[in-house]
Amino acid sequence: MTPHKPSLDDLVAVLSRTPASLSALLGGLPQALVTATEGGATWSPYDVMGHLIYGERANWIPRARHILAGETRPFEPFDRTAQFNQSQGKPLSELLQTFEGLRRDNMATLLGMNLRETDFDRTGLHPELGEVTLGQLLATWAVHDLDHLGQIARTLAKVHTRAVGPWGRYLSILKDRQPESASPQPGLNRT
């Protein structure tokens, strides 16, 4: 694989597709699938939606603005409790619509920043990771989306692990892997 420094257009191409991807994957699914996990302290698709919504509000654009303002203090830490509390009890359809609206607004904001290539090298201070660039933040945003889309697909597939019988050996999505702890407990998910 060739290393690639993504352009803003590349990143927006991924980021702008996530709401439709999530709606296509999750919209109208039975509650048992939406609340399934991979076991242990892993997240359900419903939990992931709460996490993504909170990130749209508190993470990506606020941190981009922080970097562009030349702030020297660290970013506000990600509130591991709020990301679930704010969505708890709401129907999944509402979460999907909320995410779509927030992402649409954030894409407009991002494009309205009129970023130049040199802006991608501007730095901010992450409370745990130290110095990071705007380019790294924006690339992480896109990869973060893809990571959670993969997590959701894997979780939905694993619901059917027993049902596929011997074909499971050919389905890499069902292979046991050590999932990162994605517990809603503070400090375990590091975005």
pLDDT at 178: 52
pLDDT at 184: 46
- The greatest distance separating any two alpha carbons of the chain, rounded to the nearest whole angstrom, comes to 56
Quick: pLDDT tens for 35-70: 999 989 899 999 999 999 999 999 999 999 999 999
- What is the pTM (predicted TM-score) of this model? 0.88
pLDDT at 191: 56
- End-to-end Cα separation, the chain, in angstroms: 25
pLDDT at 65: 97
CATH of the structural domain 8-24+38-174, one choice from 3.40.1160.10, 2.60.40.10, 1.20.120.450, 1.20.120.430: 1.20.120.450
3-state secondary structure 84-101: HHCCCCCCHHHHHHHHHH
pLDDT at 185: 42
pLDDT at 161: 92
Residues of the chain with pLDDT under 50: 1, 179-190
pLDDT at 187: 35
User: Does an H or E element contain 124, and which?
Assistant: strand 123-126
Comparing CA positions, the residue from 56, 50, 11, 46 lying closest to residue 152 is: 46
In a 3-state reduction of DSSP, which class is residue 66?
helix
Query: Hey, where are the domains in the chain?
Result: 8-24+38-174
Backbone angles phi, psi at 28, to 5 degrees: 80, 5
pLDDT at 4: 65
